[in-house]
Every structure is written in structure tokens, then in C-alpha cells.
Chains A and B, each alone.
Chain A
């Protein structure tokens, strides 16, 4: 009997905390389904009086958010695929090859994680302008093609690949790229999946750089389009909430489906430092 008390209290506290955590997101969903004007009317509605999809319709017809969603998806997919290849190659090299300055270079890369991205932004913008990449997909893809964090994650994981496995393949006469492609990558699948999720979600959610680089509204990603909407439609609460729901939904779905890998990835990065 004595043991039930603490358990109940604990679960109660957790339930309240969970409720508080979810409240903004639930209100976002609820308000997106309210008729126009209801969310800010007096009376503080929590639930729509009648459920309406008019705002979602408006987003897809008048405001063409489907195109922005497609841009987001395309860019996230492209960056994820390209960076997976580049990062895994480099991570494997740091883990399993010996070359001059290997550890020093790796330490420098780690140290560079401290540098805030904004420092590079202005010259990078000018540089991409010279390459003609402003207002193109490449302008967003290029800076994301490789990342120090990605290399780090893969290197940590690849360290655990037994050298004997690789040596055996070499003795059999396999070329280095073949070893990487057919042996290393499959073994690294868990960390690759983790990194893919990180990268996909990170690119999807990226706001500042696409805001600067993409000037044509045709190219906008969802976060940029949403910020744009705020500029014009801040009066239309329900419409903005619908836009937010649409922006958040894909990453939530990806997360719910693959959360095991994602969270394991953070944990492995965090504990081993």
C-alpha cells in the first residue's frame, strides 16, 4: 500500500508535465480547424465550434503551400543523400585509415564545431553569388553537402568495425571503394539511419540560410514561406496555425516512425563525447 502512493504521484506529475508540453501543439492543431476569427475571439476557445478545413484549402490553393512543401522535401532529401555519402567516406577514413596528421585534423574539425554558423554566412553568400547559385537549390544544398558533426558520428561508430574484417577483404583483392561500399556501409547502417534522420530533419527545419539564399517565392521552403505568411497574414490566426501544422507534420511523422534511431544517436554522441 505504501508503495502505491509515490507511484501515483510520480505518474500524475509526469502526466501534467506531458500535458503542458503538448498544449501549444494541440492548440495549434485545434486553432487550425477553427472558423476564421474564432481563435482570437473572446471566450478563449480551446476547441473549434465546428471543424473546418477552409484554411488548409486556402493554403493549398491560394497560397500554394504544396510547392513550398515539395521544395522542402526535395532539398532535405538531396542534402541527406549527398551528405551521407560524403560524411560516411570521411568518417570511415578517419576511423580506419592511417595518414599523416589524421588525429590533428580531426581535432581541428571538432574544435571548429564551436564556430557559429553565422560567421561564415556573409562571405558564403558573396561566394555563392559569384558561382551564380543564389536563388537556386544548389545554394542551399552546397553548404550542407558535408558536416563536421556527421563525420564525427560516423567515425565514432566506424571505430568499432573489426580491422580483421577489412584486412580479410583486402587480402581477397577487393578494391578500397568496394570495401567501403559493400562492407563498411552495411555494417554502419544504424548510424547511417540516425544521421539521415538528423540531416533530413535539420534541413527541413532550416530557416535562416534558405531565407537569405532563396529570393524567388517559387523556391521557398516551408519555414521560409511560413515566415513570409506571418508578414502578410498575422491577422489571420487560424490560417497561420494551419501553416504551422503543415510545416511541423512531416518531421513529426518521420520522428514518430524512426525515433528509436534518432534518440539512440543523441545518446551515443552524448555519452561518449
Chain B
């Protein structure tokens, strides 16, 4: 009896913490951000809260490695945030789920978010079937980070502009640094580099309206062979990322002299490399297969998106506008090293004179998006899986590409079925919203909650 009485307050507490939480005032907007950006954006929030009284923004930081999973889990579990950062290659997926709010109208009426001030290649990744779903927050593309001193010693005072020159430079570097070191680090568990090389060669990756894999095309094959060649010639460590304890220590020691990476490493390199190395590294756009320097690269980056079922869409939009102002874009850049999505922000002194960012400016003029379909993440994962298999010698190139095509065809089977059924594969309108539109009444199960 007394035990039960003692337990009762505890049980009561548990019930109160229970499932359907009540809403509290002031209004809280939940914002999910990833990686370093997630850590930093928390510093920008107090000012925003000061400008918009009665509003609190709760930032949750999620590591990139788990972000995709977590967003999908949250969607399926009806626990989505109001505002979230989203990798722009994921946007088609969320559009297909009906999880993301179209933004064209808001953008049209906004004085702050102006579509002509964004890099076209980047903005394009946010547009599915003519509808814009995200506002670019910062841009990302991949290009060459390299050791100027080691490259100069190898006979290249200027970075290589063609694949042939690039290969030659790496071979010379390898000769210089010896068998225990390498010319370039290729993290082959990531899909970006093989895809970049393929896009440069003009490969389409998928064919027939993105219904089938096209990995046995001559364009993809030739870029794939080029990539594998780098490892065959021992220009890159076969252990890939696992062989690196500390990227920055190894770059400093000359374990590798080149690395294809993104803008976040500008800040990291400046912070983590020793002072003695700071004037011995630089960035350069990707070499092109033949002429036409720079070679194209992937249009990456993150956008800000609003959850379609959010109760605070207008407030979330205000946060987006706040973060999209050029001064804020610059401040964000200063804090993270992430490059602004707004072109006008680049004119500022800080960024305009940043010699590392200059290569990115060049590269961003020519970036391409990957196929804009929901299955892209899986396909990218398969690409890295078979790239790894080919590198390890588990499969030869033919077998790997055939298997890749076969797997990708399998992955796309549902898409083909849905297209055949003439269902709305693109911006899937949740049942609730459709019902609203047709009957003016609340719908059944759907994304809204």
C-alpha cells in the first residue's frame, strides 16, 4: 500500500511526460541543422529571437552520417521539425513523400529572398517539376585541395587543368614522396568523386527519364576506369578513409598531397593545420577531361525547407528570410567557412579576397545536379558500393558496372510502376491536402498531423 503511494507521483510524472504533449507559449519553432552548421547556427538564433519577439527557435544538431535516416524516421514517425536543413540531393525524396512545402509564392512576395541572386546550378537543384521547394542556404561543390609546395616540386607551379596533366602531376608527386606516401586521398566510400568524373565525361548516369541505370555507357566507363587507375597506380591509398587517423595531421605530414573536398574544409584546414603549413596549401577547380577548364562538378549544398505539416510555416519562413540576408550569409560564412548561396554576398571584402574561396567561385559557375529522383540516395550508395568492390578487386570493371546497372534497375522498378500507373510521382500531394482541396474537409491519414 505504501509502496503504491510512493510510486504514484512517479507514475503521474510519467503520464504527464506521455505521448501527446501540449503546446506551450511562446511559440517554439523546431529547427534541425546538421554538422558544423548545426552547432554554429545556434549562435545566430538569439539575434533572430530578439528581432521577432514571442518566438523561440530550438535548434537540434544532427551529425551528417545519420541525418538522412533521422529525417526519414522523423517523417514516418510523425515527429518532423518545422524547419530543417536538407541536403539538396535529398529534396526529390522529400517532395515524393509530400513532406516539404512549396515556396514559389513566398519567394515571389519576399523582398529578401531573390531567386536571381542565387547560382543557377544550385537553385536548380531545389526545383522539381517547376516548383521550388527549398531556399539554398550555403553552397557546396567539390574541388581540389592541394599542397602547393609538393606540387611545385613535382614541376607544377600552377595546378593541372586537364586530366592528362593531373595524372602526370600525381605520378611525379608519387615518385617524389616514395612508396610509403601517396599523391591523393580518395575516400571511396563516398560517391561524389566518381560521379563528378562521370559528369565531366558527359555521362547521364540514368536513362529513359531516369528509369534505368546507364552505367555501362562509354562515358561512365571511361571515367570509372580513370578513377580506378589512380588506385592501380598506387597514387591513392587503397585503405581509403579508414587508413587516415587524422586527415589534417596526414595532410601536414605529406602522407597525401591532394584531396577532393568541399568548402567546409577551408575553415577546418585553417583551424587544424599548423601555422607553418598555412601558406603551403591552396584550392583549385577540377581539371577537365580535355579542354574547357574548369571541369564540371556536383551542385551540392544545403537548402532550408519547411515541413509541409508544420503548424508554424510563416514563422519558419521568417527564419529562412533572416538566414538568407546577405549580411547573415556573410556572418555565417565567417563562422563556418561555408560559402554563401547568395552571389551578392561574395562581393564583400572578406570573401572576395579569400584566395581559397576564389576557386569555388570559379567552380560554381559550372556545376550540375545529379538525377532529381527520390531513389538517388540509394543509387549513390550503390555506386560507392560497387566502386569499392572494383577497387578491392572483388569484381572487375565489367562485372561491377553490370551489377550496378542491374541493382539500380531493381531500385527503380517501383518508379517505373508508378509512372506506368500515371500516378503523381513528383510532388506527391498527401491525401489530407487533396481531400481539403476537393471537399473542403479534413482528410484521412497523411503527412499532416
Residues of A within 8 A of B (CB): 40, 78, 81, 125-126, 128-129, 131-138, 141, 181, 212-213, 215-218, 228, 231-232, 235
Contacts and interface: CB of A to CB of B under 8 A. Distances in A.
A273 B155 CA distance: 74
A129 B245 contact: no
A13 B62 CA distance: 46
Nearest to A134: B77
A40 B73 contact: no
Interface in B31-69: 35, 60-66
A213 B35 CA distance: 21
Contact of A138 (B19, B35, B79, B246): B19
Contacts of B365: none
A7 to B, nearest CB: 44
Given A78-B14, A81-B10, A215 B64 contact: no
B14 A136 contact: no
A35 to B, nearest CB: 15
Contacts of B64: 231-232
Contacts of B73: 212, 215
B70 A215 contact: yes
Contact of B74 (A78, A138, A215, A232): A215
Size bin of chain B's contact surface: 20 to 34
B24 interface: no
A217 B78 contact: no
Contacts of B62: 217, 228
B63 A136 contact: no
Contact of B17 (A132, A136, A228, A232): A136
A270 to B, nearest CB: 31
Contact of B78 (A78, A134, A141, A212): A134
Contacts of B79: 134-135, 215-216
A231 B246 contact: no
18 contacts: A78-B14, A81-B7, A125-B77, A134-B77, A137-B18, A141-B14, A215-B70, A215-B73, A215-B77, A217-B62, A218-B60, A228-B63, A231-B63, A231-B64, A231-B65, A232-B61, A232-B64, A235-B246
B233 interface: no
Nearest to A136: B19
Given A81-B7, A231-B65, A138 B18 contact: yes
A138 B61 CA distance: 23
A214 to B, nearest CB: 9
A204 B64 CA distance: 26
B76 interface: yes
A129 B77 contact: yes
Nearest to A133: B19
B109 interface: no
Given A81-B10, A129-B78, A217-B62, A136 B245 contact: no
A40 B70 contact: no
Contact of A125 (B18, B35, B61, B76): B76
A95 B31 CA distance: 53
Contacts of A212: 73
Contacts of A231: 63-66
B423 interface: no
Contacts of B1: 181
B20 interface: yes
Contact of A137 (B7, B14, B35, B77): B14
A129 B19 contact: no
Contact of A132 (B14, B20, B65, B70): B20
A217 B59 CA distance: 10
B78 A40 contact: no
B65, B66, B77 pick with most chain A CB within 10 angstroms? B77
A4 B73 CA distance: 63
A216 B60 contact: yes
Interface string B1-38: 10100010010001001111100000000000001000
A181, A216, A218 pick with most chain B CB within 10 angstroms? A216
A135 B79 CA distance: 7
B358 to A, nearest CB: 27
A271 B61 CA distance: 48
A12 B364 CA distance: 66
Contacts of B19: 131-133, 136, 138
Contacts of B10: 78, 81
Contacts of A218: 60
Contacts of B18: 136-138
